[in-house]
Amino acid sequence: MRPAVFLDRDGVLNTVIYRDGRPASPRGLEEFVLEPGAPEALARLRDAGWLLFVVTNQPDISRGLLQPSILAAMHRELARCLPLDEILACPHDDADGCTCRKPRPGMLLDLARRWRVSLDRSFMIGDQDRDMQCGRAAGCATIQLARPYNTGQGADHRVACLDAAVTLVLGAEFSDPRRTQLHGDRVHGPLAAGD
Ligand SMILES: [Mg+2]
Ligand SMILES: [Zn+2]
């Protein structure tokens, strides 16, 4: 059993875009822009041995506003640029009544079962309150990127940026004796600096 970091996509890994003044998902590749610093931030987690998953709601598929082939192309680009183990997207809308649309935890539970993830040692990082509710429902610790459009409700931690979230996760790793033991030969940096 290994711990994982589950990452929301829009507003976390790719730059948030606004439609009618609200944060929205890209509908074309020209709107899909990787967040600066995301490759380096995720590389720090990968180097420390964390499994990395993307879990994203994409209801524009169900609404007929996003072509599945465009979404697939976005995710090929994401997988090319970032050290990810798997990307899951929920294509449904509320009316579909699925178990995977966040805040429901279906995508996390599915990944946990297939990759043997210990959810109680894992993290969910996102920008929306529903990401926090989802992570909590799955039994993970939750970290929210503080934005004008979110409230911190359901978040265990609130930070300014993805890099700060990664630093929090790595701090938790080093504070967990089981994990420090498991990855004893990889302990460096923070411990050497006296943390
Ligand atoms: Mg988001
Ligand atoms: Zn779904």
> What are 121's two structure tokens?
């040692």
Residues, beta carbon < 5 Å, ion ligand 1:
8, 10-11, 127-128
Using alpha carbons only, what angle is made at residue 2 by residues 169 and 42, rounded to the nearest 5 degrees?
40
Q: Which domains does the chain have, with CATH numbers?
A: 4-186 (3.40.50.1000)
pLDDT along the chain (195 residues), means of 10: 97 95 94 97 97 98 98 98 98 97 98 97 97 98 96 95 97 58 38 36
Chain length of the chain: 195
- Is 127 one of the catalytic residues? no
Name the 3-class secondary structure at 125: strand
- Is 10 one of the catalytic residues? yes
- Between CA 37 and CA 109 the distance in angstroms is 28
- The predicted pLDDT at position 93 comes to 98
Say what the pTM is: 0.89
> What are 35's two structure tokens?
């967040």
CB crowding 158-191: b at 16 or more within 10 Å, else e: bbeebeebbebbbebbbeeeebeeeeeeeeeeee
- The predicted pLDDT at position 172 comes to 82
- The predicted pLDDT at position 127 comes to 98
Residues, beta carbon < 5 Å, ion ligand 2:
90, 92, 98, 100-101
Q: Which residue has the tokens 């465009």?
A: 70
User: How is the chain split among helix, strand and coil, in percent rounded to 5?
Assistant: 40, 20, 40
CA of 42 to the centre of ligand 2 (A): 26
- The predicted pLDDT at position 173 comes to 61
Give me the residues paired with residue 54 across strands: 7, 87
